[in-house]
A and B are shown apart, each in its own frame.
Chain A
Amino acid sequence: EAAVTQSPRNKVAVTGGKVTLSCNQTNNHNNMYWYRQDTGHGLRLIHYSYGAGSTEKGDIPDGYKASRPSQENFSLILELATPSQTSVYFCASGDANYAEQFFGPGTRLTVL
């Protein structure tokens, strides 16, 4: 039933390694988003997408890439992970026709 799912839910990575976080939505929403949540900052937008093939930079894109191969899937890619990227990452989907964004359960990433 969950409309936005994320995998993995937890990830431990090493500094300099490549990390891919995946998100899948069954809402058929055009827009998808990646946020990170850190203590004292709320959620901040990393990348977003208007649809398949589209990726756009959000407010804090440095060190991250995104990929939207289909309407349903949106990935966040850390080519060279750093300890400063240790955080909880949330994917969300939304549409101009709907008010709220729908969030996934989050992925806790630890970079050692």
Chain B
Amino acid sequence: AQRVTQVQPTGSSQWGEEVTLDCSYETSEYFYRIFWYRQLFSGEMVFLIYQPSFDTQNQRSGRYSVVFQKSFKSISLVISASQPEDSGTYFCALSELIMGYKLTFGTGTSLLVDP
């Protein structure tokens, strides 16, 4: 069974600091992807970055990067030089080659970046 866990319901940061958000997951599949989305206060879901299971390199995209620990089934999102505009709720999601590549979401981490 698929499960995604985000144990930090909330987080905070000061402008310019690096922020790390944690996620763990359960899957029996060999091929899968882990996605990070940010939900804005408007409700809009914004795609940030994803990590394929077969890639040993940690993915990077602008100020976003991940730390992928496949053997521990954990992945962290790292936001460098955080800004107040980064505030929002961050969701980790697991995608497997079943159910049309459906996403299984964690419960999210609500981040507040102080100016």
Contacts and interface: CB of A to CB of B under 8 A. Distances in A.
A103 B45 contact: yes
Contacts, number: 61
A88 B91 contact: no
A7 interface: no
Dominant secondary structure at the A interface: strand
B99 A88 contact: no
Q: Give the interface centre of B43, B45, B99 by most chain A CB atoms within 10 Å.
A: B45
A101 B107 contact: no
A107 to B, nearest CB: 10
B99 A100 contact: no
Given A88-B43, A100-B35, A43 B101 contact: no
Interface of A: 31, 33, 35, 40-45, 48-50, 56, 58-59, 88, 90, 92, 94, 96, 99-103, 105-106
